[in-house]
Amino acid sequence: MTAQPQDFTAMGAPMPGKNLRAIRAALVVPQDREAFDAGLKAVLDEVRVSLDLGALNAFVHRWWISACDSARDPEGRRQMHARVEQALAGEEVPRGKPWREVLAARGIDV
């Protein structure tokens, strides 16, 4: 399944533009921005060697989905990263709802 623009506009949040500047600006969680910056550097290095923009297009699309999620639910992004930190530290992480249930509640067909 891939996210489509209507999946985000139907939820009422304004969608960030599908370009590097707009995507980075929409990333409100520091961990997202750091990962975006590191990933961008890596993908640009790859593009310089391969001369194939496909990797950059895929990078933009993947991060655009995260930027849309960040714009729609910044607190949810913060909680996600906090749970990752807990899991990496070996702490007990409370179980959430299954993805299918979350997406169904948002009206997204799976």
- Which tokens hold the place of 8? 């985000």
What is the rounded average pLDDT of the residues 44-69? Answer: 96
> Which pLDDT belongs to residue 48?
97
Least confident range of 3-12, 37-46, 96-105: 3-12
Which of 31, 29, 20, 108 is CA-nearest to residue 74? 29
What is the rounded average pLDDT of the residues 13-33? Answer: 93
What is the rounded average pLDDT of the residues 77-90? Answer: 89
- In this structure, are residues 109 and 6 in contact, taking their beta carbons and an 8 Å threshold? no
Residue 14, pLDDT above cutoff 90: no
Q: CA–CA separation, 83 vs 64, rounded Å?
A: 22
Q: CA–CA separation, 57 vs 100, rounded Å?
A: 27
Residue 8, pLDDT above cutoff 70: no
